[in-house]
Amino acid sequence: MKRKQFDRGTIAGGITRIAIALIAIAIAGTVIASGIRSQDPDDKFGSVFMFLIGGIMIIASVGFIGNGIKMIVDGGKSSAVSRKGHSETAKILDLTETEVTETNNGSTSVYTIYNLKFEYTDDSGNLCESKEQISRRIFEKLQTATLVPVLVYGERAVFDKNKFEKETDPD
**pLDDT value of position 2:** 67
Residues 44-88: tens digit of each pLDDT: 888 888 899 999 999 999 999 999 999 899 888 888 888 898 899
Is residue 169 pLDDT above 90, yes or no?
A: no
Average pLDDT, rounded, for the chain? 88
Q: What is the pLDDT of residues 17-33, one digit of tens each?
A: 999 999 999 999 999 99
For residue 115, is pLDDT > 70? Answer: yes
Long-range Cβ contact pairs of 57-64 (< 8 A, separation 24 or more): 57/24, 57/25, 57/27, 57/28, 57/31, 58/25, 58/28, 58/29, 60/24, 61/21, 61/22, 61/24, 61/25, 61/28, 62/21, 64/17, 64/18, 64/20, 64/21, 64/24
Q: What is the pLDDT of residues 37-49, one digit of tens each?
A: 877 777 788 888 8
- pTM exceeds cut of 0.75: no
What is the b/e burial string over 35-59, where b = at least 16 CB atoms within 10 angstroms of the residue's CB? beeeeeeeeeeebeebeeebeebbe
pLDDT of residue 82: 84
